[in-house]
Amino acid sequence: MKIATRVNHPPVVAVPADNRPLVAPIYQSVKFTFDNVAETERQSRGQRQGFQYSRVSNPTLEQLGLTLAELQGRDGCLLTASGVAAVNLALLALCKQGDHVISFAEMYQPTRYMVRRLLARYGVTHTMLSIEDTVGIEQTLASTPTRLVIFESPTNPVLKVPDIEAITAAARRHGTLTVLDNTFAGFHNYGQFDIDVFVHSLTKYASGHGDVMGGAVIARRDIIEKMRTDFIVIGATLDPHAAFLIQRGLKTYALRYERQCANALHVARFLETHPQVASVTYPGLSTHPQYHLAQRQMHDAGTVVSVELKEQGVAPASFANALKLFAISASVGSTESLVLPGQLMMPRDLSADEQRWAAVTERTMRLSIGIEDAEDLVADLRQALTTN
Q: Which is nearer to ligand PLP, 157 or 313 (CB)?
A: 157
Residues in the interface with ligand PLP (CB under 6 A) total 15
Q: Does 203 bind ligand PLP (CB under 6 A)?
A: yes
Q: Which is nearer to ligand PLP, 156 or 178 (CB)?
A: 156
Mark the segment that binds ligand PLP (CB under 6 A) among 78-86, 125-133, 338-346, 368-376: 78-86
Q: Which is nearer to ligand PLP, 339 or 384 (CB)?
A: 339
CA distance 170 to 139: 10
Q: Which long-range contacts (CB under 8 A, 24 or more apart) does 117-121 make?
A: 118/88, 118/91, 119/91, 119/95
* Residue 310, burial from CB neighbour count under 10 angstroms (0-12, 13-18, 19+): middle
Tell me the three state secondary structure of residue 250.
helix
Q: Which is nearer to ligand PLP, 107 or 137 (CB)?
A: 107
Q: How far is the CB of 186 from ligand PLP (least distance, A)?
A: 11
Q: How far is the CB of 154 from ligand PLP (least distance, A)?
A: 10
Among the residues of the chain, which ranges form H helices?
A: 3-6, 37-44, 59-72, 83-94, 109-113, 119-121, 134-143, 164-173, 221-234, 240-250, 253-272, 291-297, 316-322, 352-358, 374-385
Of 89, 97, 101, 102, give the one whose Cα is nearest residue 135.
Answer: 102
Per CB under 6 A, the list member of 140, 176, 189, 201 interacting with ligand PLP is: 201
Q: Does 215 bind ligand PLP (CB under 6 A)?
A: yes
Mark the segment that binds ligand PLP (CB under 6 A) among 76-84, 127-135, 223-231, 367-375: 76-84
Tell me the three state secondary structure of residue 172.
helix
Contact between 188 and 297 (Cβ < 8 Å): no
Residues 330-349 within binding reach of ligand PLP (CB under 6 A):
331
Mark the segment that binds ligand PLP (CB under 6 A) among 41-49, 133-141, 177-185, 377-385: 177-185
329: number of CA atoms within 13 Å, CB side? 16
CA distance 22 to 251: 13
CA distance 158 to 153: 11
* Residue 353, burial from CB neighbour count under 10 angstroms (0-12, 13-18, 19+): exposed
What amino acid occupies position 279? S
Q: Which is nearer to ligand PLP, 213 or 320 (CB)?
A: 213
Q: How far is the CB of 85 from ligand PLP (least distance, A)?
A: 7
Please enumerate in sequence order all residues whose Cβ is within 8 A of that of 294, keeping only pairs 6 or more positions apart, or say none: 154, 161, 283, 284, 288, 301
Mark the segment that binds ligand PLP (CB under 6 A) among 51-59, 80-88, 249-257, 367-375: 80-88
Q: How far is the CB of 132 from ligand PLP (least distance, A)?
A: 18
Q: Does 303 bind ligand PLP (CB under 6 A)?
A: no
Q: How far is the CB of 332 from ligand PLP (least distance, A)?
A: 6
Per CB under 6 A, the list member of 152, 163, 196, 300 interacting with ligand PLP is: 152
Q: Does 183 bind ligand PLP (CB under 6 A)?
A: yes
Q: Which is nearer to ligand PLP, 298 or 384 (CB)?
A: 298
**C-alpha distances out from residue 136 to 103, 159, 170, 172, 288, Å:** 11, 20, 11, 16, 23
Q: Does 300 bind ligand PLP (CB under 6 A)?
A: no
Q: How far is the CB of 4 from ligand PLP (least distance, A)?
A: 41
Contact between 71 and 187 (Cβ < 8 Å): yes
Q: Which is nearer to ligand PLP, 181 or 308 (CB)?
A: 181
Site residues (CB under 6 A) for ligand PLP?
82-84, 87, 108, 152, 156, 181, 183-184, 201, 203, 213, 215, 331
